[in-house]
Structures are given as structure tokens and as C-alpha cells.
Amino acid sequence: MAERSTTSRAIAAGQLPAATAAFIREQGAVRGLFRDPLVEVTHALRTDETTTKRRLFGGTRTSVRTVEMLLTPDLLVVSYRDGARDGEDPAAQVSFHRLYQIEFAPLPSELLERAGGAKVAVPAGLMPLTSTPVGSTQRGSRMVPLGDGPDAARFREALLAATERCRRGAGA
């Protein structure tokens, strides 16, 4: 059985590792963003998810997965990387979500409606996120580790407020 723990803290865009910042800029350009998203960051949160697995032989294995969420006036940038690496991570991932498209239900609303308005429980420390990432043609859902500390609560509040502002501005 694996034990998981999350720690979250507010950061500034300038506190991102250089390799991560370069990767975000590069992927933004590849996906058609016409400006550097890191320049407009208003809120940022780093969550380290530590997983400890007990093995039958050889003791325990610990891995750290780092998720950085960056909020701009119109985008949410979510970056996943190996938290134990200081430099480039070949398995790093980043996604860009337009705020007016984001839903915070664990499943897309159309699926919940088909299920008769069913409710899905969300584990503590996770944030459900449904949207069509920039550069993608398919809508997807995921659970983003957010943590449950005061920095995570402030980030969630800022994200919800920014999402509502964008929806009102987009006429949704």
C-alpha cells in the first residue's frame, strides 16, 4: 500500500526552476499562445506529492511529483514534473486551460446530467478540473493535487474568482 502526502506553498513565477520555465514557454509557443504566460502570472502554487511505497524486499521507495499551477488573467497553466530532478525532466508535462472553459466538477456536466444528476465525491487535497486544453480538440477531466493548506485555499479562491470573471466577460 502506498502512502501519499501533499505539501503546498505559494510561489512567484520567478521561483520556477529555469528548465520548467523554459519548458512552459516552449510548449506555450508550440500550442499557439502568442505571448509568454509567465509574465502575466497573478497567483502560483507549488504542490509536492510524496508517495512512499513499501516493498516486500528492499525497504521503501519514495517518489516526489511536483505540480505547479500558474494563474493568469485568462489562463490556468498546470505543470507536472519529477520533484526529485533539479534540471530537465524528459517526462514533464504542461497544459494550458482557458479559464472560461474550466469546470470544477469531477466529471463533465453533460455526463453528470446523463447519470441523473449524480454526485461524485472528491478526495481531500484534490481539485477536479475539466476543460479543453489549448491545442487539444478533446475535453478532458483530471484530478489535480492541490493540497489543503491556507496557500492552497487562497489559490483555489483566486482561481474560482478569475474563472467567474472570464465567464462573465465571455458572455457565458
Q: Where are the beta strands (DSSP E) in 11-74?
A: 43-54, 60-71
* 89: confidence class by pLDDT, cuts 50, 70, 90: confident
| Domains located in the chain, CATH noted | 2-170 (2.30.29.30)
User: Mean pLDDT of all residues in the chain?
Assistant: 84
Higher-pLDDT residue of 86 and 109 is 86
| CA-CA-CA-CA dihedral for 84, 81, 151, 78, to nearest 10 | 170
pTM for the model stands at 0.83
Distance of alpha carbon 105 from alpha carbon 89, whole angstroms: 30
pLDDT in tens, 18-69: 999 999 999 999 998 989 999 999 999 999 988 888 887 778 888 888 999 9
How confident is the model over 145-152, as a mean pLDDT? 88
